[in-house]
Amino acid sequence: MVKGAQVKPSTTKLLLQALGKNERALEKVSSEPFSQRLGKLGDLPFERIVEIAIEKKPDLLAKTLKAAVKTILGSARSLGITVDGKDPKQVTREVDEGLYDAVLAKYEEKWEKAEG
């Protein structure tokens, strides 16, 4: 490791931190079938997903904020975290349909200024 280099938290760690949880909480539910664990870790507001996407911009291959958000939604789903009380897969569909365009527009400037 390069001396002085900062280790960036993983997407999983950021999502868990946003919920106020740690890796132990994830270990407790990870052995359960996906259908039973969805929502057990917690629920995040869509705007928190957007903020995590902006924070992770340097590490993502996404060229747009919308694509980055969809990536983070995929990670949330794989952990069993719901977003606005819904399965992140449904939220991803709603993003594609434009239901979150107004929220994304609020963060577009922040996305453009973020490193990456």
Closest CA to 69 of 38, 39, 16, 105: 105
**Per-residue pLDDT, 106:** 98
Q: Which CATH architecture has domain 11-113?
A: Orthogonal Bundle (1.10)
Domain segments of the chain as ranges: 11-113
pLDDT in tens, 52-80: 999 999 999 999 999 999 999 999 999 99
Q: Using CA atoms, how far apart are residues 116 and 114, in angstroms rounded to an integer?
A: 6
- pTM, two decimal places: 0.91
